[in-house]
Amino acid sequence: MIIQTPTKFFLVAGASEGFSKLNSFDCALLASGIGNTNILKMSSILPPKCKRIEPVRLPYGSLIPTAYASITSDQPGEIVSAAVAVAIPERDDYPGLIMEYSSRGKKENVENIVKKMAEEGMKVRNENIKDILIKGIEFNIKRIGTAFAAVVLWD
């Protein structure tokens, strides 16, 4: 089966509590706007000429290529954060790069790390960066919670 190369992408983030770790992950997907789909975790290459769009409502049950970071905790009072970064190359015919990172601690720290990861990834490819897009979220755990950030590829 060959899957068509996506031509559009958007960034999302969400966080939530849940009854269990899996329930909190599911609720974070819903909070991000991509719940009720089947996310397919992919590696981190943005197809050339892929255009950023605002998040769209995805068809229920659809298979969605997604690069994502998530972190779940059951430690009350703990702060968890997740972020994604998209490095857009200067050349339109070259692929971009997506990096994902999650950790305990503040969103600002996670966003700084994921940005550096994207910069380093483009550096080793000897590609100049036109822009870096970042989306992150921070969540304070009450019982069991998840922070989730993603780049969704769409056609």
Active site residue 126: no
Q: What is the pLDDT of residues 7-36, one digit of tens each?
A: 999 999 999 999 999 999 999 999 999 999
Active site residue 111: no
Q: How far is CA 67 from CA 51, 63, 114, 122, 142, in A?
A: 16, 13, 13, 17, 27
The SS3 assignment for 84 reads strand
Active site residue 120: no
Q: What is the pTM of this model?
A: 0.95
Sole residue written with tokens 């996310």: 39
Q: What is the pLDDT of residues 115-154, one digit of tens each?
A: 999 999 999 999 999 999 999 999 999 999 999 999 999 9
Q: Which long-range contacts (CB under 8 A, 24 or more apart) does 19-24 make?
A: 19/144, 20/144, 21/72, 21/74, 21/144, 21/146, 23/144, 24/72, 24/144, 24/145, 24/146
Choose the catalytic residue: 24, 32, 44, 70: 44
Would you say residue 3 has pLDDT above 80? no
- Alpha helix ranges (H) inside the chain: 21-32, 107-124
Fold of 8-154: Pyruvoyl-Dependent Histidine Decarboxylase; Chain B (3.50.20)
76 burial class (0-12, 13-18, 19+ CB within 10 angstroms)?
exposed
Q: What is the per-residue pLDDT for 2? A: 60
Active site residue 38: yes
Percent of the chain at pLDDT > 90 equals 95
What are the domain boundaries of the chain?
8-154
Choose the catalytic residue: 24, 70, 73, 100: 100
Collect all residues with Cβ–Cβ distance below 8 Å to 12 and sequence separation of at least 6.
Answer: 32, 33, 34, 55, 135, 149, 150, 152
Please check whether residue 118 is in contact with residue 96, taking contact to mean a CB–CB distance below 8 angstroms.
Answer: no
Choose the catalytic residue: 38, 62, 128, 140: 38
State both tokens at 120. Answer: 């380093």
Q: What angle do CA 71, 74, 79 make, to 5 degrees?
A: 60
CB neighbours (10 Å) of residue 91?
10
In the chain, what's the furthest Cα-to-Cα distance? 47
